[in-house]
Structure 1
Amino acid sequence: MHHLDLLLLFLLVAVTALTVLAQALRVPYPILLVLGGIALGFVPGVPHVELDPDLVLLLFLPPLLFHEAFFASVRELRADARTIALSAVGIVLATMAGVAVVLHAAVPDLPWAVAFAFGAVVSPTDPLAAIAIARRQGLPRRLIAVIEGESLVNDGTALVAYGTAVGVAVGGTFSAPEAVGGFAQDVVGGVAVGLVAAVAVGWVLRRMDDPVLHVTVSLGAGFVAYLPAEQLGVSGVLAAVVVGLATGHRVGELSSPAARLQGAAFWDVLVFLLNAVLFVLVGLQLPGILEDQDRSAGTLIGLGLLVAATVIAVRLLWVHTAPYVVRALDRRPQQVARRVGWRPRTLLAWAGLRGAVSLAAALALPAGFPERDLLVFLTVCVILATLVGQGLTFPALIRVLGVEDDPGPLREEYLARKLAARAAVDRLEQLRAEPWTRADTIDRLQGLHEFRYRRAAQRAGWLAVEDGDEDLHERSLAYQRTLRDVLDTQRAALVALRDEGRVSDEVVHALVRELDLEDQRLEI
């Protein structure tokens, strides 16, 4: 690729400018990045960018999957395992079949295997924009967990189906038993490789004290699982997901506080840049794709709208029919208690946005593949229709349906804070008998944690507030405002000392970092 340095600079400038604009317009940044990429692609003089699909699947997918799985809740995934499995497998296969039938009917000369390959291309979801909207609108945490869980697994389902269909299209034969067996092998093999990688990564992390090395190992963890799985012919996607889930679930025992702080900051920046660059690159592909089309604009637009409508309709139909079939077969009380109404299910259906994985799969179609240029164009149409169309209407749909966050997660937080504070108070009482402790220190710390205990209990409603009682939450906020003012004063004093030449920049950076860490603990 020519002028790589200029291209990288262009991408960074474009990502920064478009993200700032997205924040000003209060639009999820993936939507504006795609639209901005399309607009920039038509500007004369803008470098032509060809997105290497192998680079996307190899360089971008493992760290993004690892990060998403690392911060996923194993408890919530386990609780909704059936819903997630039905979505991640059932919707993928239903979408693949529905799109194949519609596309073959619209383009009769298109071979069935090619139509099914395209159906697999547009079946996996990209949760980034949907989750960003859902969290901003206060969607219940359970729905967010299902959206995340589905996206963690459906990439593997779609890519396995994609590989089978492409193999048939380029001269192979299809056998249902072989396809089912191959799918089971990919799933079991991917999970097994992920578990082995998790053990290896955990063993390494336990023996490292340097936070920088911890972050480095975590960066490589997704690749440690993904690459061997792909070489063994099993699902690298599931392997990366499993190592992320296992490592994230045990992060407390595998890393130090310093490593966790540095790791969180590093991953926030890395994941943002990877996603942002990917969405801009998706938009930049459209001008080049249009150059290779030999159909009329009207025909292309019509096919694009037809395929996008099919993708959306299949998901809506599945979400509003499959649960009733399952309910008729499974009437266990614990499952009955977890049932939701049609409004949350509608939001789950509307959250099926497509993204970079679909485009990478389309671009990975081999040269000479029947109607390859058309399939790539239609993939971009589906991404635009779901990411932009559904993404922009998602907030309005949430408001119209009136689905609000449930108080359960917040009460869980208060419960955790209350019990942690009680554990600290009990431990301090035990430490009071130790000869090396000071009574005034124990009294001060005990008073602090007893206040935290009562504040959490009061906010959760477990501690009755009588007339004239002090609002402990307001008292805490007043204390925090005072503390932040003091921290700001200390930072200013340190900078003044540096400007006067009395202390070095190294000393100032170290002390300011300590103040910043204390500042981050504040809620205001």
Structure 2
Amino acid sequence: MTDTIYAVLAIAMVLTVVSLLVPMAERFRLPHTVLLAIAGMSLGFFGAWLVSANVKLGALGDAFVGLDKLEVGTDVFLPLFLPPLLFTAGLTIDVRRLFDEVSAVLLLAVVAVLVCIACVAGVVRLATGMDFVVCLLLGAVVSTTDPAAVIGIFRDVGAPKRLSILAEGESLLNDAVAIAAFGLFTSILVSQASPGPVSAGIAADPTGAIGTFLREFVGGLLFGFLMARGAMLMLPRLGDSDAAIASVTVSLSYLSFILADSYLHISGVVSVVMAALTVAAYGPTHLHPQQWATLRKTWAQLEFWANCLIFVLASMVAANVLMSMSWLDAWGVVAVAIGAFVARALVVFVMLPALEKVRLVQPVNVRYKTILVWGGLRGAVTIVLAMVVFGNDALPESTREFVALLAVLFVLFTLFVNAPTLGLGMHLLGLDKLSRLELALRDRVLALSRANVDRRLRQIIRQHNARVEGIDVDPSSAGGEEIEAVPPDLALDLAERVKVGLITLCTREKELYLDLFEQQTLSRRMVAVLAARADRLIDAVRDNGVAGYEKWLLQISRPDRGFRVALWLHRRLGWQKMLTERLADRFEILMVSQSVLAELAAFNTESIADLLGADAEAELASVIEGRQQAVDSALRALSLQYSGYAESISARQLERAAIRFEAVEYARRLREGIIGREVYDDLIHQLGERRSAIADRPPLDLGLELAKMIERVPIFASLDHDAVVEVSKRLRAVVALPGEKFIRIGGPSDSMYFIAAGEVTVKGAGFEVTLKEGDFVGEMGLVSDRPRSADVIADGYCHLLVLYRKDFRALLDKRPSVRSEIETVAARRVAENEGKAAS
């Protein structure tokens, strides 16, 4: 029998065993990795016994022989298993939410790793007396975390989604930081073991080593991003081949690691992580929804295989190592555990609250912090690093055995102690118990469900005029059953019921966005933005109820930092592309929000009233109406300036809906046999061409061609072309934000403004005037040099042309007719203002 047959039998046996462990893990509510470690060590011990006892078990025995031949060398663990593990972790994370919690994630990922390395190294050094650099290497190996168990608990108890983002982001980024530190300490130890001119320099110059570390880290970030962007240019051009798309991403993960690590000598791990995050950010906007879902499923399968093989193979190797375990090793793993969990507690309970106080991080409940500390399990990455150290012949044997043994023991400690007791900790902290609000909601849902079932049964009996055995229903009853009253101890006040209703509405809002995306009536980019906003709304309501909801809505209604940067670039440098994109995004978001809010209002009327009461439904209707008014106002403000763009967006969405309906109709005709496959394929091809034609948003023209805008201002309407060109050279276009006060009382009179589009309000002493497109304001200061006598506030997005004093005077000197017209209007305005002030 060939080695290939042995290897196939071994792989088949391992895949069968690890698959059977999945339902067992669900049954006993244990992380799958716990059972994988047990299975791996069991296979290792059993295989060693079979070999030593020379027992023949036929195909089963040959499978164990294959396992012995299949054992991967420890030097292969890093390049073979790390890329799929890290790439999957990065691919599944919500990048937009990750950036929302970037301060906390960086604290847990970067600072926590450094604190963990320092604490573990210090405690282990005191406990064992081992060389400090060796202890630092051990700290780097055990500082990576596996968030699967704690995320599962957060999901079970309905914790805010941002806590899962914290755990996922921490695990992903601390893997990169820890492995980079791992490489640094390994190189120092290798240099100490093999003295030479270069190695001596490394050992003697820690600053140079840190500089190398930073260079590799930043280089990995840049290389991973560039590799992923190149892949994203390729993926949409692969057509409908899911296999080809998956193959390119697999190639991306391994090439990012190998090229960076072996050819460019920068961090391959950081490169893979950055590549994965880049694909996660751009993938949903570049691939069809079904292709993206298929890609994520493919990577979940690859991660499952990699994780299982790592634990099984590494546990088999570790089984032999554990045979030589001594009491000193036991004390060493206790020291590692103390250092690791003390470090984690310091970060979560000391450093994280500091960020909360300066409002860089939203507050985290103490109970969840406790789970974050105790849920710092170690998993596959730690095992891989331990095996890499164990197989590194450049290190002294004592160092290799010390680090590998304690790291594996610590992983087993977290799997066999922390993981099984997470559920107990959740119970002690009361996280597994339904709150009074949840209990009341559960009972209300049950009562409504029973009433609806009873009502439906009555309808069936009346329709069929039949008796149904075993169902105690009075067919002569005309009305529905009374809904059971909520027990007094579970009765909710109005504020609590409104909070439940808001959470329900926010959840429904996210579902509507995803439905629009599936129907291809919402762009891929916008669904990512809007779904993330809905998640944040849910978290805000969970924390602070209606106040949190309204605070978050106020926050997103204001221009974000990106918009302000785009506006600054436009005003100062004349760059309009970024501002154009931001305004177009806002148009699409407002129009989609308008449609979704209308559906939420109907959903509130149909589903919330029975569940939470008429008074809660009325309160929620008021909240929705207020939000609708805000959206309508913002959309009107944009439409004042860009009247044709709203119609273009609406037409595009209608065309998308028409294409979707036509596709459904063609599929029905094909199933009915009315049309053949060739006709159907041709029709679908035509729909594809129409869909491609509207794939990009219609261009949003900012109207920054000054000559055209000048012609829209009445006082310049009679100017000839040459005069318009001269004026255009002296005017600057600016965009005023809604509510922006661009002229203040008492301010310097150094400019005047022409309103090219939009409306502004002039507020002075005892008067208030609204100016619209074609009007101008601020001319009094230019004519009389007096300080500003009124505030001028933009009512919406306003497109203004600003003329500065020095240019104004130069213009009047060359164009007397313009001077005369402006002075006439200014004199009339002075008289009007004086008359209003006198009255």
Q: What TM-score comes out, normalization by structure 2 length?
A: 0.48
- In terms of mean alpha carbon deviation, does 47-56 or 24-33 score higher? 47-56
Indicate conservation of the 8 Å contact 1:454/1:463, yes or no: no
- 1:94-141 deviation per Cα after TM superposition (whole angstroms, max 9, x unaligned): 111111122222222x22211111111111112233333433343321
Indicate whether 1:76 and 2:97 are aligned: yes
Instruction: State which of 216, 220, 232 in structure 1 corresponds to 2:247.
Output: 216
Amino acid in structure 2 at the alignment position of 1:230: D
CA positional deviation for 1:264: 3.6
Q: Which residue of 2 aligns with 1:514?
A: none
For residues 424 and 379 of structure 1, the distance between their equivalents in structure 2, rounded to whole angstroms, comes to 46
Instruction: State which of 282, 286, 301 in structure 1 corresponds to 2:330.
Output: 301
- 32 and 200 in structure 1: CA distance in 2 versus 1, 3 angstrom threshold: same
- 1:305-333 deviation per Cα after TM superposition (whole angstroms, max 9, x unaligned): 232232222212322111244456xx35x
Q: Which residue of 2 aligns with 1:259?
A: 291
- 460 and 372 in structure 1: CA distance in 2 versus 1, 3 angstrom threshold: farther
Amino acid in structure 1 at the alignment position of 2:295: G
Q: Which residue of 2 aligns with 1:42?
A: 45
- 417 and 453 in structure 1: CA distance in 2 versus 1, 3 angstrom threshold: farther
For residues 214 and 62 of structure 1, the distance between their equivalents in structure 2, rounded to whole angstroms, comes to 17
For residues 187 and 372 of structure 1, the distance between their equivalents in structure 2, rounded to whole angstroms, comes to 25
Amino acid in structure 2 at the alignment position of 1:66: F
- 1:61-92 deviation per Cα after TM superposition (whole angstroms, max 9, x unaligned): 21222222122111211111111111111111
Trace 1:322-361 onto structure 2 (pairs within 5 A). Answer: 322-327=351-356, 331-332=358-359, 335=360, 338-361=362-385
CA positional deviation for 1:378: 0.8
For residues 15 and 458 of structure 1, the distance between their equivalents in structure 2, rounded to whole angstroms, comes to 48
Instruction: State which of 303, 306, 319 in structure 2 corresponds to 1:271.
Output: 303
Trace 1:9-408 onto structure 2 (pairs within 5 A). Answer: 9-43=12-46, 44-45=49-50, 46=64, 47-48=67-68, 50-108=71-129, 110-170=130-190, 171=192, 172=199, 173-209=203-239, 210-231=241-262, 232-291=264-323, 293=324, 297-327=326-356, 331-332=358-359, 335=360, 338-365=362-389, 366-367=392-393, 368-369=395-396, 370-403=398-431
For residues 114 and 123 of structure 2, the distance between their equivalents in structure 1, rounded to whole angstroms, comes to 14
Q: Which residue of 2 aligns with 1:4?
A: 7
- 128 and 324 in structure 1: CA distance in 2 versus 1, 3 angstrom threshold: closer
Indicate conservation of the 8 Å contact 2:321/2:405, yes or no: yes
- 1:318-352 deviation per Cα after TM superposition (whole angstroms, max 9, x unaligned): 22111244456xx35xx36x122322222222221
Trace 1:472-483 onto structure 2 (pairs within 5 A). Answer: none
Q: Which residue of 2 aligns with 1:485?
A: none
- 112 and 343 in structure 1: CA distance in 2 versus 1, 3 angstrom threshold: same
CA positional deviation for 1:222: 1.5
- 220 and 409 in structure 1: CA distance in 2 versus 1, 3 angstrom threshold: farther
Indicate conservation of the 8 Å contact 1:197/1:225, yes or no: yes
CA positional deviation for 1:193: 0.7
For residues 461 and 312 of structure 1, the distance between their equivalents in structure 2, rounded to whole angstroms, comes to 50
Amino acid in structure 2 at the alignment position of 1:84: V
* Alignment gaps of 5+ in structure 2: 51-63, 193-198, 435-498, 523-594, 615-670, 672-839
CA positional deviation for 1:155: 1.3
CA positional deviation for 1:409: 7.9
For residues 202 and 423 of structure 1, the distance between their equivalents in structure 2, rounded to whole angstroms, comes to 20
CA positional deviation for 1:59: 2.0
Indicate conservation of the 8 Å contact 1:222/1:240, yes or no: yes
For residues 182 and 235 of structure 2, the distance between their equivalents in structure 1, rounded to whole angstroms, comes to 36
Rg comparison, structure with higher value: 2
For residues 372 and 460 of structure 1, the distance between their equivalents in structure 2, rounded to whole angstroms, comes to 64
Amino acid in structure 1 at the alignment position of 2:511: R
For residues 235 and 402 of structure 1, the distance between their equivalents in structure 2, rounded to whole angstroms, comes to 43
Q: CA RMSD in A?
A: 3.5
For residues 418 and 231 of structure 2, the distance between their equivalents in structure 1, rounded to whole angstroms, comes to 39
Indicate conservation of the 8 Å contact 1:305/1:381, yes or no: no
- 1:133-163 deviation per Cα after TM superposition (whole angstroms, max 9, x unaligned): 4333433211110111011111121112112
- 17 and 62 in structure 1: CA distance in 2 versus 1, 3 angstrom threshold: same
CA positional deviation for 1:50: 4.2
Indicate conservation of the 8 Å contact 1:214/1:255, yes or no: no
Give aligned pairs, total.
440
* Alignment gaps of 5+ in structure 1: 429-450, 470-493, 495-524
For residues 423 and 50 of structure 1, the distance between their equivalents in structure 2, rounded to whole angstroms, comes to 46
2:609 aligned counterpart, secondary structure: coil
Indicate conservation of the 8 Å contact 2:311/2:383, yes or no: no
1:202 aligned counterpart, secondary structure: helix
Q: What TM-score comes out, normalization by structure 1 length?
A: 0.75
For residues 313 and 176 of structure 1, the distance between their equivalents in structure 2, rounded to whole angstroms, comes to 27
CA positional deviation for 1:192: 0.4
Amino acid in structure 2 at the alignment position of 1:400: L
For residues 271 and 180 of structure 2, the distance between their equivalents in structure 1, rounded to whole angstroms, comes to 13
Which structure dedicates a bigger proportion of its chain to strand? 2
1:15 aligned counterpart, secondary structure: helix
For residues 320 and 601 of structure 2, the distance between their equivalents in structure 1, rounded to whole angstroms, comes to 60
| % same residue | 28
- 176 and 14 in structure 1: CA distance in 2 versus 1, 3 angstrom threshold: same
For residues 81 and 126 of structure 1, the distance between their equivalents in structure 2, rounded to whole angstroms, comes to 19
1:250 aligned counterpart, secondary structure: helix
- 106 and 182 in structure 1: CA distance in 2 versus 1, 3 angstrom threshold: same
- 200 and 107 in structure 1: CA distance in 2 versus 1, 3 angstrom threshold: same
Indicate conservation of the 8 Å contact 1:80/1:146, yes or no: yes
2:249 aligned counterpart, secondary structure: helix
Q: Which has the higher contact order (CA 8 A, sep 6+)?
A: 1
